[in-house]
Structure 1
């Protein structure tokens, strides 16, 4: 074999090894994060984590944070924090929450917040009730609007509702820490309890007989929203005080449930001022 052919063969072998190594690297997956106990949750994102750290009722167990995120959160000396905190590279957080999560360089492991009972509403005047809204992105966005409009509590069902999670908390952008969450087993019974407590319960329905503005009355309002597509369940529709619609003059006659929540909460707040 000539020197030229030997050189060509060595070059081909070199590229073959590179291609094989590239294929092997592609097959390696990031290590999966260990599962947490059911009563714990991973929360990520700057706004989400800052709100959790500032919430005295939130029990933080551990933190993983990049140098940049630690500076933005103004954490100071990590060793002085009342929980273990570790300075890591972003890929370490990717391994915990997934590379698709917009974690912004920080994740905390914490105890989930404990849901309250309906009997703990106290002097509430505005309540938001969700009838099997299951998408955590939507529920998180709804929480954000609810906090913005000073809603006293969010009521969901124990089943067919998303559990507290990093996705929900990130969508809520800190609002998770600022609203009372009430879980009920039977929504129809819960609505009846709201009636007994003096609430007018109004279900949002695109085919409702009257606009929401003309339906709201009294000093205690509970808005009830159903899941996208399905809307309110029949039993819920039969139990609420009234059904009402959001009047929209455009070609599209319905909104995403989180947008509908924001609009209806604004209307409810205006009604409670009157």
Structure 2
């Protein structure tokens, strides 16, 4: 069993149906609309509810930041890499894939932030490694504001082998590296692409870097050399989302010219 805590993580887990709930604990001293929405959903789905003192919730969550709700759930099952070759629910098979691969991100706050960005940028799936990486813990889920419950996540043993399998399926592997020669906004993300992000501080492992087809960089105008991995990931993924959104939209049509010349309007005091 695992613990989820916080209004957004618990509510999104209920909405997504990705977790099997054992029971949900809510604080006796909290009574508001957001918490009531969770209580109503639990009752609708026949999920056991327990009213507890706030101190008991803090003990279960191991933090006071539980916002009055803690859920005990079954451990999440990860997908296989092959599952990400299939289109996401609601997406057409012909739609180019956009994947995110995390090469050893160890901070659960960064993992959660990246999963939140992946959900917002319509990423089709996220690839993480089994070892030397942050687990999908309650901290990471809380940092994702519950978005982790909606993102398809595959866990692999060897990132290099996983990238090679993606390349065999005609998916371009694009690593983010400050030594890259191509700006992130110069790359065409409208084809099948996996964006590869490295570890905090150290970046991509050498073999992972060599496996990538292209290395992109984010030009920095200030005095620091690079961004935090979650901030850098947000920059690149939203650029990819912008390009892919523009590809699917028709060209704007200019407004028709008026039949009569527009009369000049006088300003105040004239």
Q: Where on the TM-score scale, by shorter chain, does this alignment land: which range?
A: 0.7 to 0.9
TM-score of the pair, normalised by structure 1: 0.80
Q: Give the match's secondary structure for 2:105.
A: coil
Q: CA RMSD in A?
A: 1.9
Counterpart of 1:254 in structure 2 is 226
Cα offset, 1:268, TM superposition:
1.5
1:1-274 → structure 2 map (5 Å cutoff): 40-67=1-28, 68=30, 71-73=33-35, 74=37, 75-76=39-40, 82-98=46-62, 100-121=63-84, 122-123=86-87, 125-216=97-188, 219-272=191-244, 273-274=246-247
Q: Number of aligned pairs? A: 234
Cα offset, 1:85, TM superposition:
1.2
Q: Bigger radius of gyration, 1 or 2?
A: 1
Unmatched segments (≥5 aa) in structure 2: 88-95, 248-270
- Matches of 1:243 and 1:78, distance apart in 2: 47
Runs of 4+ in 1 over 6 A off after TM superposition: 77-80
- Matches of 1:228 and 1:71, distance apart in 2: 39
Answer 1 or 2: which has greater helix percent.
1
Conservation of the 8 A alpha-carbon contact between 2:190 and 2:240: no
Conservation of the 8 A alpha-carbon contact between 2:174 and 2:194: yes
Q: Give the match's secondary structure for 1:173.
A: coil
- Matches of 1:69 and 1:117, distance apart in 2: 41
**CA displacement 1:151-197 (0-9 Å, x = unmatched):** 01010111112222110110010111110001111111100111111
Cα offset, 1:112, TM superposition:
2.1
Unmatched segments (≥5 aa) in structure 1: 1-39
